[in-house]
Homo-oligomer: A and B are copies of this chain.
Amino acid sequence: MTDPDGFDAATALGAPESARYPVVLHPGWTVVGGKPNGGYLLAVLGRAAVAAVVDAGGAHPHPLAATSTYLSAPDVGPAEVETEVLRLGRSASQVRVRLCQDGLPRVEAVLVVGRLAEGVEPWWGSLPPVEVPPFAACERLGVQDHPGSPFRVPLTAVVEERLDPAVLGFLDGRPGGGPELRGWLRLADGREPDPLVLLLAVDAYPPATFELGTTGWVPTLQLTAYVRALPAPGPLRVRQRARLVQGDLVDEQCEVWDSAGRLVASATQLAGLRVGDTPPPPA
C-alpha cells in the first residue's frame, strides 16, 4: 500500500485535461510558513514532464536536466501543471511545465528528459563523495530540540536529513561561519531514491547560508539540476555550499552521491538573501 503522506502520493498527478495535470500539494512537504519545499515542487514538475512526453508518444522516463524559476510561492492544496512538449527527440525530449494555482503562474520550468542506463561508468571525472561522519553519527534535523533554531520544518518528518554535527552550530545560534552543509538524506518511509527523488534532494537541505550567520529565509529565484545516473538503493550523501553573497543574492551549489559513492546529481541555484546589518563571518 502506498504511504498516503509519502513521496509518491505527494507528487501524484491526476488525469490530464488538455495537457494540464492536476496535483494536490501536500502539507507534509513544506518548509517555513507552510510553503511547499522547492525540491518537492521540482519533483512534481519532473513527474509531469515525463508524463507529458509519455502521453505524447515518447519514451523518456527520466529527467536529465531541470531548470525552474520561482515566481510566487504556491500554497498547499490543489494546483495544476500545464505542460508543453517542445520537442520529442530520439535520445532526449524537452518539455516546458508551469505550476499554476489560483490562475497564477507559480513556477516555470523546462526539463530535458531521456533515459538513464543502468551501470554506466564515468568516462572522465568522478567527484569523490563528500566526507561526512557515518549515517548514525549525523544529527537528524527536526528531532532534537534546539531553542535557538531559526526554523521548524514539516519536511523533516518525511525526509530524513542527517547533517554532520560540525555544521549545525546555527541550530543553537552559534553559526560556524562556514559556507557548507553536508550529510545524508533519505526518505523517512524507506522508499528508495530514483531520479525524481534526486530532484527533491538537490533542494531539500536548509540554506547553506545559515552557517554564515544570516537567519532570514533564502527564497530561490532559479534552480538548475542535472541527474547524472540512476542512484543505488540506500541513503544519499548531500553537500550544499554557498559561493558568493553579494547584492542581496547568493548562489549555492549542491552535489548528491548515492550509497555506492557515485555522483548522481548536481544543482546550482541563485537565491535572495537580505544580509542587512549582519556582519560577515571572519574569513
Contact = CB atoms under 8 A, between A and B. Distances in A.
A13 interface: no
Interface in A55-103: 64-65, 67, 69, 71-72, 86-87, 91-92, 94, 96
A260 to B, nearest CB: 14
Interface in A214-238: 221-222, 224, 226, 228-229
B247 A263 contact: no
B280 A123 contact: yes
Contacts of A108: 86, 94, 96, 110
Contacts of A69: 65, 67, 86, 94, 110, 112
Contacts of A275: 123
B268 A224 contact: yes
Contacts of A125: 179, 242-246
Nearest to A89: B71
Of all A-B residue pairs in the complex, the 8 with the closest CB atoms, nearest first, are: A224-B224, A67-B67, A124-B245, A125-B244, A65-B222, A123-B245, A120-B247, A69-B110
Contacts of A268: 224, 268
A122 interface: yes
A116 to B, nearest CB: 7
Interface string A99-135: 0000001001010100011001111111100000000
Nearest to A115: B247
Contacts of A122: 244-246
Contact of A270 (B124, B226, B248, B251): B226
17 contacts: A64-B270, A65-B221, A65-B222, A67-B67, A69-B86, A71-B94, A96-B108, A108-B110, A112-B222, A121-B246, A122-B244, A122-B245, A124-B212, A124-B242, A124-B280, A125-B244, A251-B266
